[in-house]
């Protein structure tokens, strides 16, 4: 009921508010306000000093006017004056005014801080609280600077009242949050921490009845949540007994969730569930108790189908984090149908969005196709504000889990078709990179893009992708009369005039590539290039391209043209920029959980990735048999997992030794003659096998290597140390006449006759391969 306020009336204010409400129009309201402002201004400037009560009333009126939405450019001084009043209510209004109306005038700030300082040292608890409130609520840097030193003192002082201590503690907390560098805890730390625990001291204060802190049959929900939150700041306890009690506690909370409710009121279930969700957050944070994680997942699973939208929303949100834990990932996946259903049927867009996020988080190889399909269909009707993020996510998933790259190409092209405006450059660059790098999908890409371009209204990004791909691989579908070269050209050119400048530039490049690929189109295309709208185009880039391409097509021989317009070489493997873009969008903390999981699975954490280079390489090499979608294009190396900053992805070095350093081992001959990479097992006298055979055996096990030509063969010498006994033993073994070569020659360079006392050299060489001896002998002789 509309009451005239209790306590201090301020009738004038009530009348003023009534007047405003009775105004029939905006103009009338403004008129009334201006009248009042003029009145107040004159009163403030007036000769006789205003009494406290009047000042308070007028400051309050100004506050009201400000809260209506009108700017106030005076009254600050008066408000600050109120701060130094001894009357509580006047002080209160003063504080209210200055905390609502932000003022950066330094003089005012100085005065305010002064007043606050006085109140803090006043020893009057109500005044101290007012001051502490102001500091905590405003929390500006200036205030922190002025008072960060004072507050800890108040907090630990023995004679401070409990209520003031409470305010001081929360105040300190606020200041620490906003200006941590200014709050020097130092000597106060241990005492403050002790007190902070004490702040939630409700039970320790003997006179209080716990009943006061029970909220709709839930005991101390705020305290419980705070404590659970506090625990999330620490790693799980190491002490077994403590950990045991904690786990027991969490289990109890999970058990209680299953109990029938003590009250039908929503406040009861909210309070109860607030604690439950916080407990689940803690369980997720610890990520070490599989039993708890699975139970949490099941509980959330129940909430997914709850009547209350709020609970469904929170369950979806919480499950997102659960999905990244290896213990509960599988449990989360079991709910996929429910989540997909939520995506399709929830009426609240925020809930649908949570469902989409969860699908992204729970995606892995087993369900990627299904999830991407659902996300694509959701995208068709999704809110515009979330489309860009959805596009990035779909692109990431499609690339990550593609086993069949034609599926990947389809997905990206679908993305462009459905949400073309939100497909950023990173996404379509990526699809082109992948198509260029993978031979097996080029024909499919050309065909699909050709079909997509036939749609009457086709997005410009599709034209870009199509133009590029047809320019490179149009020849792969040129055999079919429906996609003959001229048909392809006409299709592209029909979109030309609808496109922006960068797209047109891309198309022009595609046209010159066509001239190279399909000489029969030369005349037609040249005709297009020659026309005024191209070679006299007002855009410099387009003009330049048209002119140069025209010239190139006229004067270059077919060979030169073919060389210039050769097919694009494969792009070097690099980390997907799409992921970087998503991270940037979502903020640094929100790394996709799938990336986190991958890194975890492959043995590296995001932060430690660079240090674990060699280990990663080992793991990567062992994964060679199941090529990951971002596998090295040669198929040999496994690529680095997305998100990890690895220095080297493991390489396999195929070593072919023809001879190795002799050892004292027995003359057991390795039957295939192949000497493995470990030098200890070779046999020096083993005959050299066929090179082909050698390549096929590695470490004793047969391997299939798909190599791209050229393969470079290196030959090199490695010096080795031998005792004279070993040397001459070896020497004797190479006793066949064709294994030795000898040369006697005069020195090319000057000989040190002092040392050598000879005029000529005799060089004798023995080698297992005869031709080598001769050759080496000749070569070495020149060196002397």
How many other CB atoms sit within 10 Å of the CB of residue 517? Answer: 23
Phi, psi of 697 (to 5 degrees): -120, 135
Q: Which of residues 353-412 bind another protein (CB under 8 A)?
A: 353
Q: By C-alpha distance, which of 196, 188, 184 is closest to 233?
A: 196
Residue in 152, 221, 467, 613 binding another protein, rule: CB under 8 A: 221
> Which of 23, 50, 182, 225 is close enough to bind another protein by CB under 8 A?
225
**Residues between 546 and 605 with contacts to another protein, criterion CB under 8 A:** 587, 589
Q: Which stretch binds another protein (CB under 8 A): 139-147, 448-456, 512-520, 760-768?
A: 139-147
Q: With CA atoms as reference, report the closest residue to 573 among 625, 640, 618.
A: 640
* Encoded tokens for 422: 């939100």
Residue from 222, 327, 407, 571 in contact with another protein (CB under 8 A): 222
Reading the block at residue 296, the tokens are: 């949490």
Q: Which of residues 537-556 bind another protein (CB under 8 A)?
A: none
Q: How far is the CB of 345 from another protein (least distance, A)?
A: 13
Torsion region of 571: left, alpha or beta (phi above 0 gives left; psi -120 to 50 gives alpha): beta
Torsion-angle region of residue 177: left (phi > 0), alpha (psi -120 to 50) or beta? alpha
Instruction: Give the x-and-dash track for 80-119 against another protein (CB under 8 A).
Output: -------xxx--xx--x---xxx-x---------------
49 binds another protein (CB under 8 A): no
- Displacement of CA 619 from its chain's centroid (Å): 23
Question: Which residue has tokens 């190889």?
Answer: 365
Q: Which listed residue (140, 341, 377, 681) binds another protein by CB under 8 A?
A: 140
Write the DSSP assignment of 88-152 as a string of letters: HHHHHHHHHHHHHS----HHHHHHHHHHHHHHHTS--HHHHHHHHHHHHHH--HHHHHHHTTHHH
Query: Do residues 587 and 616 lie in contact, with contact meaning Cβ atoms separated by under 8 Å?
Result: no
User: Minimum distance between the CB of residue 489 and another protein, rounded to whole angstroms?
Assistant: 47
| The pair of three-digit structure tokens given for residue 314, joined into one six-digit string | 């929170």
In angstroms, what is the minimal distance from the CB of 20 to another protein? Answer: 9
Q: Give min distance, CB of 270 to another protein, in A.
A: 5
User: Crossing angle of helices 593-601/384-400, nearest 10°?
Assistant: 20
Nearer to another protein, 166 or 628 (CB): 166
Q: Does 60 bind another protein (CB under 8 A)?
A: yes
Beta bridge partners of 763: 743
Examine residue 132 and tell whether it contacts another protein (CB under 8 A). Answer: yes
Which tokens in the block code for residue 515? 């001239």
Among 350, 484, 543, 676, binds another protein (CB under 8 A): 350
Near another protein by CB under 8 A: residue from 30, 67, 618, 722: 67
**Which residue number, 125 or 443, has a Cβ lying nearer to another protein?**
125
Give how many residues touch another protein by CB under 8 A: 83
Supply the minimum distance, in Å, between the C-beta of residue 536 and another protein. Answer: 47
The rounded distance, in Å, linking the Cα atoms of 547 and 529 is: 7
CB 320 within 8 A of CB 283: no
- Report whether 250 contacts 278 (CB < 8 A): no
Residues in region 191-210 near another protein by CB under 8 A? 202, 208
Cα separations in angstroms, 36 against 47, 57, 62, 212: 19, 12, 9, 45
Residue 165 or 447: the one with the smaller Cβ distance to another protein is 165
Q: How far is the CB of 604 from another protein (least distance, A)?
A: 26
User: According to CB under 8 A, which residues from 678 to 697 bind another protein?
Assistant: none
Q: What minimum distance in Å lies between the beta carbon of 241 and another protein?
A: 22
Span interacting with another protein, options 60-68, 421-429, 480-488, 667-675, rule CB under 8 A: 60-68
CA dist 753 and 745 (Å) reads 16
Which of 62-70, 335-343, 500-508, 715-723 is the region at the interface with another protein (rule: CB under 8 A)?
A: 62-70
**CB of residue 587 vs another protein: minimum separation in angstroms?**
7
Can you read off the two tokens belonging to residue 377? 């269909």
Nearest approach, Cβ of residue 295 and another protein (Å)? 19
Q: How far is the CB of 139 from another protein (least distance, A)?
A: 6
Yes or no: say if 140 and 112 are a contact pair by the CB < 8 Å rule.
Answer: no
Could you tell me the end-to-end alpha-carbon distance of the chain, in angstroms, rounded to an integer?
115
Q: Which is nearer to another protein, 166 or 638 (CB)?
A: 166
Asked if 745 interacts with another protein (CB under 8 A), we say no
Those residues with Cβ within 8 angstroms of residue 352's Cβ, 6 or more apart along the chain or in another chain = 342, 343, 346, 378, 382
Stretch that binds another protein, among 138-146, 560-568, 647-655, 680-688 (CB under 8 A): 138-146
Angle at 426 between CA 423 and CA 432, to 5 degrees: 95
Contacts of residues 343-352 at CB distance under 8 Å and 24 or more positions apart, as own/partner, are 343/374, 343/378, 344/378, 346/309, 346/312, 348/309, 348/313, 349/383, 350/313, 351/309, 351/312, 351/313, 351/316, 352/378, 352/382
Q: Which of 320, 336, 351, 362 binds another protein (CB under 8 A)?
A: 351
148 binds another protein (CB under 8 A): no
What DSSP character marks residue 721?
A: -
CB of 620 to another protein, least distance (A): 34
In the complex with another protein, the residue whose CB is nearer, 347 or 482, is: 347
Of 15 and 501, which has the nearer Cβ to another protein?
Answer: 15
Which residues in 152-191 contact another protein (CB under 8 A)?
163, 166-167, 170-171, 173-174, 176-178, 180
Nearest distance, CB of residue 385 and another protein, angstroms: 10
Q: How far is the CB of 27 from another protein (least distance, A)?
A: 17
Q: Does 347 bind another protein (CB under 8 A)?
A: yes
Three-state SS for 518? coil
C-beta of 202 vs 552, nearer to another protein: 202
| Nearer to another protein (CB atom), residue 133 or residue 697 | 133
CB 705 within 8 A of CB 653: no
CB of 222 to another protein, least distance (A): 5
Instruction: List, in order, residues 6 or more apart from 296 with CB less than 8 Å away.
Output: 254, 280, 283, 284, 318, 322, 328
Of 49 and 540, the one with the shorter C-beta distance to another protein is 49
Which residues ranging from 6 to 35 are in contact with another protein (CB under 8 A)? 6-8, 14, 17, 21
Segment contacting another protein by CB under 8 A, of 216-224, 248-256, 335-343, 444-452 = 216-224
The values of phi and psi at residue 744, to 5°, are -115, 125
Token reading at 320:
């997102």
Residue 51 or residue 611: which is nearer to another protein going by CB?
A: 51
d(CA 454, CA 462): 11
Q: Report the site for another protein in 231-260 (rule: CB under 8 A).
A: 232-234
From the list 219-227, 484-492, 614-622, 674-682, the region that binds another protein by CB under 8 A is: 219-227
Binding track, positions 266-285, relative to another protein; x by CB under 8 A: -x--xx-xx--xx-------
What is the β-pairing status of strands 740-746 and 701-702? unpaired
- Binding to another protein (CB under 8 A) within 634-663 occurs at none
Tell the smallest beta-carbon distance from residue 262 to another protein (Å). 16
Residue pair 343/355 in contact (Cβ under 8 Å)? The answer is: yes
Pick between residue 222 and residue 327 the one whose CB is nearest to another protein.
222
Give the residue from 640, 638, 677 showing the smallest Cα distance to 656: 677
Q: Is 48 in the site for another protein (CB under 8 A)?
A: no
């Amino acid at each position: 009921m509309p009451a005239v306020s209790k306590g201090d009336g301020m009738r004038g204010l009530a009348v003023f508010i009534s007047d405003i409400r009775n105004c029939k129009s905006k103009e009338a309201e403004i008129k009334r306000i201006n009248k009042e402002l003029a009145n107040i201004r004159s009163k403030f400037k007036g000769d006789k000093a205003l009494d406290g009560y009047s000042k308070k009333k007028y400051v309050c009126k100004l506050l009201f006017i400000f809260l209506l939405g009108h700017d106030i450019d005076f009254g600050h001084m008066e408000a600050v004056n109120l701060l130094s009043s001894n009357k509580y209510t006047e002080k209160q209004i003063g504080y209210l005014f200055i905390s609502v109306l932000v003022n950066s005038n330094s003089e005012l700030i100085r005065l305010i801080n002064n007043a606050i300082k006085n109140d803090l040292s006043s020893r009057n608890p109500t005044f101290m609280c007012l001051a502490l409130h102001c500091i905590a609520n405003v929390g500006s840097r200036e205030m922190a600077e002025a008072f960060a030193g004072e507050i800890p003192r108040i907090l630990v002082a023995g004679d401070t009242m409990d209520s003031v201590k409470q305010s001081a503690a929360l105040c300190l907390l606020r200041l620490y949050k906003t200006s941590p560098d200014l709050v020097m805890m130092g000597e106060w730390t241990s005492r403050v921490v002790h007190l902070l625990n004490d702040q939630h001291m409700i039970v320790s204060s003997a006179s209080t009845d716990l009943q006061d802190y029970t909220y709709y049959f839930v005991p101390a929900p705020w305290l419980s949540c705070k404590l659970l939150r506090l625990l999330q700041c620490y790693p799980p306890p190491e002490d077994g007994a403590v950990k045991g009690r904690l786990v027991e506690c969490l289990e109890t909370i999970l058990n209680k969730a299953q109990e029938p409710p003590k009250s039908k009121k929503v406040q009861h279930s909210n309070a109860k569930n607030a604690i439950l969700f916080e407990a689940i957050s803690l369980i997720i944070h610890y990520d070490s108790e599989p039993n708890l994680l699975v139970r949490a997942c099941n509980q959330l699973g129940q909430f997914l189908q709850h009547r209350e939208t709020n609970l469904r929303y929170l369950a979806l949100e919480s499950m997102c984090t659960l999905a990244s834990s290896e213990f509960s990932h599988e449990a989360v996946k079991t709910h996929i149908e429910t989540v997909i259903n939520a995506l399709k049927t929830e009426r609240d867009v925020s809930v649908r969005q949570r469902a989409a996020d969860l699908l992204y988080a729970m995606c892995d190889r087993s369900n990627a196709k299904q999830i991407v399909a659902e996300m694509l269909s959701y995208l068709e009707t999704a809110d515009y504000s979330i489309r860009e993020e959805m596009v990035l996510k779909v692109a990431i998933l499609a690339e990550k889990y593609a086993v069949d790259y034609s599926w990947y190409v389809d997905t990206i092209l679908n993305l462009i078709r459905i949400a073309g405006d939100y497909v950023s450059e990173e996404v379509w660059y990526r699809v082109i990179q992948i198509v260029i790098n993978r031979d097996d999908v080029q024909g499919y890409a050309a065909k699909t893009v050709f079909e997509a371009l036939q749609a009457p209204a086709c997005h410009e990004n599709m034209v870009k992708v199509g133009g590029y791909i047809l320019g490179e691989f149009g020849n792969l579908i040129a055999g079919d009369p429906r996609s003959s070269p001229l048909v392809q050209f006409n299709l592209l050119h029909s979109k030309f005039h609808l496109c922006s400048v960068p797209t047109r530039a891309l198309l022009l490049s595609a046209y010159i590539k066509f001239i190279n690929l399909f000489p029969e189109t030369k005349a037609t295309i040249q005709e297009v290039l020659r026309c005024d709208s191209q070679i006299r185009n007002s855009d410099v880039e387009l003009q330049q391209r048209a002119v140069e391409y025209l010239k190139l097509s006229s004067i270059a021989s077919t060979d030169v043209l073919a060389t210039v317009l050769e097919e694009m070489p494969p792009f070097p493997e690099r980390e997907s920029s799409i992921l970087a873009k998503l991270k940037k969008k979502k903020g640094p903390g929100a790394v996709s959980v799938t990336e986190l999981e991958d890194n975890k699975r492959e043995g590296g954490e995001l932060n430690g990735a660079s240090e674990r280079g060699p280990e990663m390489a080992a793991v990567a090499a062992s994964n060679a048999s199941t090529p990951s979608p971002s596998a090295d294009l040669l198929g040999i190396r496994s690529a680095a997992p997305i998100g990890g900053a690895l220095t080297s992805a493991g390489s396999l070095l195929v070593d072919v030794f023809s001879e190795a350093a002799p050892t004292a081992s027995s003359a057991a001959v390795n039957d295939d003659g192949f000497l493995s990479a470990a030098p200890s097992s070779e046999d020096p006298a083993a005959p050299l096998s066929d090179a082909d055979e050698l390549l096929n055996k590695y470490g004793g096990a047969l391997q299939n290597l798909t190599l791209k030509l050229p393969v470079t063969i290196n030959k090199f010498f490695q010096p080795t140390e031998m005792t004279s006994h070993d040397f001459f033993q070896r020497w004797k073994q190479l006793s066949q006449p064709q294994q030795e070569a000898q040369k006697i020659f005069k020195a090319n360079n000057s000989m040190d006759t002092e040392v050598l006392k000879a005029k000529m050299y005799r060089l004798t060489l023995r080698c297992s391969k005869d031709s080598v001896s001769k050759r080496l002998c000749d070569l070495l002789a020149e060196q002397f």
